[in-house]
Amino acid sequence: QVQLVESGGELVQAGGSLRLSCAASGGTFSTYTMAWFRQAPGKERAFVAAINWSGREAYYGSSVEGRFTISRDNAKSTMYLQMNSLEPMDTAVYYCARQTRPFGGTRLGPIQYDTWGQGTQVTVSS
């Protein structure tokens, strides 16, 4: 069964940048749409961005579009999230997730993802 491990989260000042990574092991990565979600304290888990299996299609949540870029390297079984112009509202635990079925679309909700990482903390100070 595939396992996902996030890394790259840390404390950063507003306006700064971070790059998160999600490394997959033990299962198939290259044929599945992947996504990033985040959960802030006291709030529900929210969609951040998704990328299809080939990397040619990406979809972003409205609050991050234009600031964040999702990408993947299937040869390395790794997905990335480049986060620029960070704001205090971006503070959250960031999770990567793999869809239940291969070759899925990028605009599916969290219920369509059945494999999750443990999360990485991103804190943006003002």
Q: What is the mean pLDDT of residues 30-42?
A: 96
Least confident piece of the model among 32-41, 84-93, 104-113: 104-113
Over the range 47-71, which residues count as b (16 or more CB within 10 Å of their CB) and which as e?
Answer: bbbbbbbeeeebbbeeebeeebbbe
Q: What is the mean pLDDT of residues 77-98?
A: 98
pLDDT of residue 109: 86
Q: What is the mean pLDDT of residues 88-100?
A: 97
Q: What is the mean pLDDT of residues 80-106?
A: 96
Q: Provide the percentage of residues in the chain whose pLDDT is more than 90.
A: 94
